[in-house]
Structure 1
Amino acid sequence: MKTELLFMKQEDVIAAGALDMQKILELVEKVFYLQGHEQIINPPKTVFGIPIGEEPQSHFFSMPVYIGGDVNRPGIKWAAESKTNAKTGNLPMGIDMIILSDPVTVQPVAIMDGMVITAMRTAAAAGVAAKYLAPDDAKVAGLVGAGVIGRTMIMALKEVIPSLKQIKLCDLNTEKARNLADEFKGEIEIILSDNVENAVSGADIVATMTTSKKPFVKSEWVKTGAMVIQMSSYEVEAGVVEKSDKIVVDSWEQMKENELSIINQLVKKGSLDEKDIWSLSKVVCGTKPGRENKDEITMFSSRGMGSLDIIIGDYLYKEAMKKGLGQRLVLWDEAKWV
């Protein structure tokens, strides 16, 4: 029996709806809801760096997932990051692929580019967190990082925070920051800041989207009642975490595998108790409260969950089938040794 699968290049993924942030937010929130009802299998990602025995120049991530409920989709995300690409600018730093399988026959049904999906779902996770944890009348966001996630973060915050009026944007590459601000001209006011303190101080929402391995956000810059979003492992000083009244993560099971995480480091030192770290799924499902008053400081930190990629990939695959997108590939004409 011939087995076919759908191959979706990046253009197909976009044509199927990958840039629809409103829909991506809906799907991402559904993942956290299903996770809270134990309908998702999402083991910690496997990570390794190469070359062996040297400072890693490339990293690879394997993320197998099963999403139950009415989705019923197993799949895997294969992700990779290259320092060489980041330096040369000839290729994206991160290159990702998503594979979806049939839950019964286990045949692969789709292979698709995962780069745009990664960028959208990463910011959407923060967007869902902001929906529950940001100040009700947040007007100013201070963003550090004008890369790919900086772009999608603006998209997500615009969608979930209707009161947002202004974004203060900072990046080491001022040209990149200027270009990103130009992309959103006429949609929201973006002011370029020449340093992190100016961008962060006084902001109702602080968001960091960088590749930094050293903290650069000081606790005294975070005002009372703000929400802090940390998309990398260690962008805020320990004092920011300790100052937060609520600490929420996408998945503690994922994050505690990450030695670089400032939250994980504080737990290991004994200065932070695991029970004081909540998964976003508990907030979405109502077993833990979101923001409770205007003065509390809330923090969301993300490690990245493959289940977000798979639910979006499943949706885009179904949309592609409806729209006639993608290319049919044959895995075999007749299986050997059945």
Structure 2
Amino acid sequence: MKIDFLYLNEADMIEAGVLDAVGCIETMRDTLSLFGKKDFLLGGPKGDEHGLQMNFPQKSDIAGFPLDDGPDRRFMAMPAYLGGRFHIAGQKYYGSNSHNSELNLPRSILMVTLSDVDTGAPKAIMSANLLSAMRTGAMPAMAASYLANKSSKVLSLIGPGVINKCALMCFMEVLPDIETIKIRGSSSKSKTALAMKEFIEEKYPQVKEIIICGSLEEACRDADVVSEAMSVTKQDMEEFHLEWFKKGATVFSMGSFLYRQYDEFLSTTMVVDNYGMYEKYLSNFIARGPVDEFGNKREWCIMGIHFVHLVKTGQAKREEVINLCDIVNGTARGRASEDEIVMCSIGGMPLEDLSWGFDCYRKALEKGIGTKLNLWDEPYMK
């Protein structure tokens, strides 16, 4: 049996609508609905693993062996199946190295593969840097449609890289009254912060004020919606403080959220995209070193882990951490009052890469985009 599959490079993906913010938001809504209905499968023996990561050692006795000579040198494979209207299997695969910036390359270089669920045959292989960034940015915007105050006017972007650029594109679709955007980069003169400012000025002329903030506190204060997507080493992280957030603020974290006063989250509404994922993250932290009965000796910097820690130590009940999928499916409330502070952790799952990749693939087929490649006309051996 002949097997062909579609190859989509980055230009093909753009033509297939990978940057369609509205479409991506709705695809993420469908994805989270299916996640809540358990119509999915992830990798690992229990079907719930985020992925399998390969890290390089910092030293080796083998001559020429690749070493972790900087942060974030790794490879990762993230297989998944998603049901419903998608009914697709596949994986996101990427290599990452912080030194890529010296070569004018993104830190991570990503591909997504889609496969037939029954035969395992490839259906598509696609460039996925934009795909992954858009689905990551669309998730908090989709969540904001349930969690943010509809009258939100001030948006703060903490970490002005590609992820928050895509998040901005999506936020502007669900929060049309945004008139002030605050930007926090590594400094008030960071190139990425200035580039973000220029992007906003060009694409969103309706925004009345753009502020490049000199501190994390300045970026958080008075913001109606905070979108955190930082990519920094742990030693460079700044600590957040709850007192910085106004009444009614909605805070989304997609990256690093360093916070030491965990119990202060109890006065907020806590929301997660995948509680089990953060449970595994916490257990990994505990397994790596000694901690006291509250897990305080090892410091983690992912918002969702803070929430799980509160539950594991008996300071919060499991039902106090709301599943985003339950909000999407109408079985849990979203924002209950205009004054509550909502904290939402978006860690991301390969399900989202599959769903948005699938929709882009379908659009490519409709428009005749991409390159058809042949795996075989007949397998040489059966």
- TM bracket (short chain): over 0.9
Tell me the distance in 1 between the aligned counterparts of 2:380 and 2:316: 55
1:89–1:138 Cα change, 3 Å = farther
Number of the residue aligned with 2:64: none
The code of the aligned residue for 2:329 comes to: C
Shift of 1:241: 5.8
1:303–1:110 Cα change, 3 Å = same
TM-score normalised by the chain length of structure 1: 0.93
RMSD: 2.0
CA deviations 1:229-253 (Å, max 9, x no partner) are: 1111434454586155221111112
Number of the residue aligned with 1:337: 381
Number of the residue aligned with 1:210: 230
Shift of 1:215: 4.4
1:105–1:311 Cα change, 3 Å = same
The code of the aligned residue for 2:98 comes to: K
Matched, 1:305 2:349: yes
Tell me the distance in 2 between the aligned counterparts of 1:263 and 1:327: 40
Aligned pairs for 1:1-338 within 5 A: 1-42=1-42, 43-52=48-57, 54=59, 55=68, 57-86=72-101, 88=102, 90-173=104-187, 174-185=190-201, 186-189=205-208, 190-212=210-232, 213=234, 214-239=237-262, 242=265, 244-258=267-281, 259=285, 260=300, 261-265=302-306, 267-268=308-309, 270=313, 271-338=315-382
Shift of 1:48: 2.6
Unaligned runs of 5+ in 1: none
Tell me the distance in 2 between the aligned counterparts of 1:305 and 1:315: 16
Secondary structure of 1:128's counterpart equals: helix
Give yes or no for contact 1:33–1:285 (8 Å, CA) kept in 2.
yes
The code of the aligned residue for 1:188 comes to: V
Give yes or no for contact 1:215–1:237 (8 Å, CA) kept in 2.
no
Tell me the distance in 1 between the aligned counterparts of 2:263 and 2:251: 8
1:79–1:279 Cα change, 3 Å = farther
1:11–1:172 Cα change, 3 Å = same
Tell me the distance in 1 between the aligned counterparts of 2:259 and 2:139: 19
Tell me the distance in 1 between the aligned counterparts of 2:206 and 2:30: 27
Tell me the distance in 2 between the aligned counterparts of 1:241 and 1:121: 30
CA deviations 1:128-169 (Å, max 9, x no partner) are: 111111112111112211110121121111111122211111
Unaligned runs of 5+ in 2: 43-47, 60-67, 286-299
TM-score normalised by the chain length of structure 2: 0.83
Give yes or no for contact 2:74–2:97 (8 Å, CA) kept in 1.
yes
Secondary structure of 1:7's counterpart equals: strand
